[in-house]
Amino acid sequence: SQQGEEDPQALSIQEGENATMNCSYKTSINNLQWYRQNSGRGLVHLILIRSNEREKHSGRLRVTLDTSKKSSSLLITASRAADTASYFCATGTGNQFYFGTGTSLTVIP
């Protein structure tokens, strides 16, 4: 499978703590994207990192990419209850996007 795989499958933290999610993939990529999905909704794009980039920031989000290890991490700092959602990585190859099975994050107020 070309899908990314997120780790852990589920994560529960206290509000204010940082949350780290990892994504591993199998093939060469052009870019890697992270999405958030709230229950019963579609996915919302968070951040895109290109294969020639190593780190990218957006607000409280920090994404790293290690193409030699075929892995990426998403760090959410100072988490809030509203960050409770599922998080997916998607690897872009040509015209295709392959999604992982997601990390379910619960932030406890």
Residue 49 contacts other proteins per CB under 8 A: no
Q: Do β-strands 61-66 and 55-58 pair in parallel, antiparallel, or remain unpaired?
A: antiparallel
Using CB under 8 A, which of 23, 88, 105, 107 touches other proteins?
88
Nearer to other proteins, 79 or 103 (CB): 103
Interface with other proteins in residues 4-43 (CB under 8 A):
30-31, 33, 35, 40-43
Measure CA 90 to chain center.
Answer: 8
State phi, psi for 81 to the nearest 5 degrees: -55, -35
Nearer to other proteins, 44 or 82 (CB): 44
Q: How far apart are CA 96 and CA 16, in angstroms?
A: 36
